[in-house]
């Protein structure tokens, strides 16, 4: 056993930890030393978004002690930043131990003299963002690992605007968390009187806000029988999605029964992620059975939404996140213009790895479209920067996230479900469909196709392998890909864009981030980004071509798919 790892293990065996934890360590020393080493070889990093990791004993796991130490550091930073009464809100999803972690977090905050609003039971992440703003909190926490497998849990930390923290607060909280050297530095109890439960009253405030996002309530009323299938995939969406659809006026909603009960074991899926076809399979089966108009699914903490619709042949297809975002952005832009409620200073926001088709759509309507780093905290940060000067309408990213309106500051699948159903109702009222609308947009603005390739590198060497891969691209970028010259390399870590043909450089006016983008002469964009929450490196491929008519869609789409496949093969990513 490595000396540093053994020292950490010895500290737990001799420290102020529960006897059951020490007994588990002793058993693992005999029966599973490799797993024990992985559990202690590093500290679970409190990153810029908080914690996320496997649950279990050890410094590299999500458990009572890592959560408590993180909360103590966060509490210390809040007390440095704010005078007087400090309030925080805490929520959790359906995952195993999420309630326990939320209560642990509440107890530590409260023991530090901080007023805590703890949701009475599981709630969607976007409602936490709303509650922080509504209650005037200085921060907040939601215990969730989003769409990760059942073995994971996490801890997302928020600031006073209802968004996950950005610079300087994220880095400063990390400094304070790192100062907590021992569980003995944590105030574990003694402030229980500072904890108040919140629930249904906040639900109603949130639902009223979300209802106010509707652009065509008359269409929803006329199309109230729109046949909707919804699955919460065992998650927290069941708490609010049926209610928001009812508020929008839809009364023909069918919930996937097998996935309707919150369950952290996610018994019907491998990955509780609406991006995965397998997770949506039960919903697809029900949608086919009842000949539904639209299928929607949300992840465990209900910040991501996936949708299924029928194509022009009547076959069910699942939209990817870019397609859903294009439809949502275009709907909000078009509908507001048609209703006469658009403003000259309207703006939309997307991330740098999200389809460039949105930029084209926005430009055609003379609406400012800003590109920010991956993560809704950056969309929220831009909203804060532009407040009082520009009017935020909608933001989104390719990973099935949308944020409509500025009353919350994180991705929100609850309001997105409602607005997507309104879109479906609007198209149906015109004798059309969301799929047909998407094809029409491709004809109007060009056919854009995106593919995500994720490579997982597990274990102690995984992070180093990913780092080496990025460094290789950074120091020796390809000159051509699929026979097309690489025109530019955008390095967001160095904040420099370099023209690979002329050697000229230009600054990138965004915060540092370990992302590389290759821009090819034919408009292709390839982005490489290590995940901030998983041992993965992600490659985003975006290609485009002209589409003359709807009838040519399948052939053109196939050609673009073949182009992406050639590039993936050439880059040896599969």
Among all residues, which ones are annotated catalytic?
146
Q: Most distant CA pair in the chain: distance in Å? A: 72
Counting Cα atoms < 13 Å in the Cβ hemisphere of 295 gives: 29
State the Cα–Cα distance between residues 28 and 22, nearest whole angstrom. Answer: 10
Q: Is 340 exposed, middle or buried (0-12, 13-18, 19+ CB in 10 A)?
A: exposed
| DSSP assignment of 331-381 | HHHHHHHHHT---TTEEEEEETTS-THHHHHHHHTT-EEEEE-SSHHHHHH
> Cβ(544)–Cβ(356) under 8 Å?
yes
Whose CA is closest to 330, among 446, 438, 403, 439? Answer: 438
48 CB neighbour count, 10 Å cutoff: 19
The helix-helix angle for 434-445 and 321-339 (nearest 10°) equals: 90
Q: Is 549 exposed, middle or buried (0-12, 13-18, 19+ CB in 10 A)?
A: exposed
β partners of residue 246: none
> Cβ(137)–Cβ(160) under 8 Å?
yes
Q: Where are the beta strands (DSSP E) in 199-345?
A: 228-231, 253-255, 294-298, 305-310, 316-318
Counting Cα atoms < 13 Å in the Cβ hemisphere of 218 gives: 2
> Cβ(261)–Cβ(232) under 8 Å?
no
* Rg of the chain in Å (alpha carbons): 24
Backbone angles phi, psi at 135, to 5 degrees: -95, 0
384 CB neighbour count, 10 Å cutoff: 15
């Amino acid at each position: 056993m490595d000396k540093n790892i053994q020292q950490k293990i010895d500290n737990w065996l001799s420290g102020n930890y529960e006897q059951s934890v020490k007994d588990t360590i002793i058993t693992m020393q005999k029966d599973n030393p490799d797993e024990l080493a992985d559990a202690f070889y590093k500290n679970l990093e409190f990153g810029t978004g908080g914690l996320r990791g496997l649950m279990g004993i050890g410094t590299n796991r999500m458990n009572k002690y890592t959560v408590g130490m993180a909360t103590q550091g966060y509490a210390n930073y809040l007390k440095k930043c704010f005078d007087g009464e400090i309030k925080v809100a805490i929520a959790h999803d359906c995952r195993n131990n999420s309630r326990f972690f939320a209560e642990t977090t509440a107890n530590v905050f409260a023991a530090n003299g901080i007023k805590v609003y703890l949701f009475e039971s599981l709630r969607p992440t976007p409602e936490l963002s709303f509650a922080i703003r509504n209650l005037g909190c200085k921060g907040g926490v939601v215990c969730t690992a989003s769409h990760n497998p059942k073995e994971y849990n996490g801890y997302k930390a928020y600031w006073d605007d209802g968004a996950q923290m950005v610079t300087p607060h994220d880095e400063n909280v990390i400094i304070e968390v790192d100062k907590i050297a021992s569980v003995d530095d944590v105030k574990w109890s003694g402030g229980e009187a500072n904890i108040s439960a919140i629930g249904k009253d906040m639900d109603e405030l949130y639902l009223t806000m979300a209802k106010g996002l509707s652009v065509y309530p008359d269409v929803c009323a006329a199309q109230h029988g729109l046949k909707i299938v919804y699955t919460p995939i065992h998650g927290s969406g069941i708490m609010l999605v049926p209610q928001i659809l009812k508020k929008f006026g839809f009364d023909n909603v069918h919930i996937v029964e097998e996935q309707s009960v919150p369950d952290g074991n996610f018994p019907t899926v491998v990955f509780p992620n609406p991006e995965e076809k397998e997770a949506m399979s039960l919903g697809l089966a029900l949608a086919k059975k009842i000949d539904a108009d639209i299928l929607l699914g949300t992840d465990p903490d209900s910040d991501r939404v996936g949708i299924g619709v029928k194509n022009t042949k009547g076959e069910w297809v699942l939209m990817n996140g870019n397609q859903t975002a294009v439809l949502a952005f275009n709907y909000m832009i078009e509908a507001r213009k048609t209703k006469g409620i658009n403003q000259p200073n309207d703006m939309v926001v997307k991330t740098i790895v999200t389809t460039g088709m949105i930029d084209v759509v926005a430009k055609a309507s003379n609406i400012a479209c800003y590109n920010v780093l991956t993560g809704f905290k950056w969309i929220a940060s831009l909203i804060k920067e532009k407040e009082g000067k520009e009017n935020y309408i909608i933001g989104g990213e390719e990973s099935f996230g949308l944020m409509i309106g500025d009353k919350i500051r994180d991705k929100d699948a609850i309001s997105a479900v409602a607005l997507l159903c309104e879109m479906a109702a609007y198209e149906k009222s015109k004798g059309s469909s969301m799929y047909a609308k998407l094809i029409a947009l491709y004809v109007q603005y060009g056919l854009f196709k995106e593919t995500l390739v994720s490579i997982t590198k597990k274990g102690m060497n995984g992070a180093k392998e990913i780092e080496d891969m990025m460094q290789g691209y950074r120091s020796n970028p390809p000159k051509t890909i699929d026979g097309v010259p690489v025109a530019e390399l955008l390095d967001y870590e160095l904040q420099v864009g370099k023209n690979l043909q002329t050697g000229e450089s230009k600054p990138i006016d965004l915060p540092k981030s370990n992302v590389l983008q290759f821009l090819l002469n034919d408009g292709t964009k390839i982005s490489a980004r290590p995940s901030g929450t998983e041992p993965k490196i992600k490659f985003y491929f975006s290609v485009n071509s002209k589409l003359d008519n709807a009838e040519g869609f399948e052939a053109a789409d196939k050609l673009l798919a073949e182009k992406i496949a050639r590039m993936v093969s050439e880059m040896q990513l599969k």
